[in-house]
Amino acid sequence: IEGINCDKIDARTPEQKALASRSWVKKQKAWESFEPALKPIEGFIVPAQGRVSSPFGYIRKYVTPGCPTKESPHFGHDIAAPTGTEIISPAPGTVILAEMDLYYEGGTVFLDHGHGLISLFLHMSEVQVAPGDILEAGDLIGKVGATGRVTGPHLHWAVKWRNLANEDSREEDFYIDPALLLELGSPKMIEAAYESALEE
């Protein structure tokens, strides 16, 4: 990926590093909170209308002249759409993080669906929910933007599964390709697919 501002490839100034550090603390606090499932989840819907611009699993290399080169895995499902495109809840859940200015992520919402699943929505131009809000599938979360580390307006939708059997440690947590949720449907189906893969 070319053309990323050097300051977004990595925090460099004391002010940037301080914001990046505060952002990290906020995210870690959210990871450690567990909300119960509000109701059975029958399936997930697409949170924004647009073109899939980057699928899950790529290794990204940020290359900008005069900046250090950095690589990072892409753990999300990117949907390119104009700034202001509505972002909706893909399934019921409780908002556990709502911030407009995380350093790398920009406008960000974490939505806990229960069952150990959290949806992350990044780079938003508007955040229209607050921590503690309870959402139904289809409820408005905010709007697509180009905040944080981006080359253009899009929604980065990521889903993380957290091990409910070991709430004191995040070492066994892992990201899931959100496209699987759209294809497989419910968390129980995801869990069954995961257990089947382990057996194989």
3-state secondary structure 87-143: EECCCCEEEEEEEEEECCCEEEEEEEEECCEEEEEEEEEEECCCCCCEECCCCEEEE
pTM for the predicted model, two decimal places: 0.84
Which tokens go with 190? 């995801």
131-167 pLDDT tens trace: 999 999 999 999 999 998 888 899 999 999 887 767 6
Per-residue pLDDT at 1: 73
Report whether pLDDT(196) > 80: no
For 7, residues 6+ apart whose C-beta sits below 8 A from its C-beta are: 13, 16
**d(Cα 189, Cα 42) in Å, to the nearest integer?**
10
Residue type, 69: T
Per-residue pLDDT at 33: 86
- DSSP type of residue 145: B
Per-residue pLDDT at 186: 52
8-32 pLDDT tens trace: 778 888 998 999 999 999 999 998 8
Percent of the chain scoring above 70 in pLDDT: 89
CB atoms within 10 A of CB 42: 10
Q: Mean pLDDT in the chain? A: 85
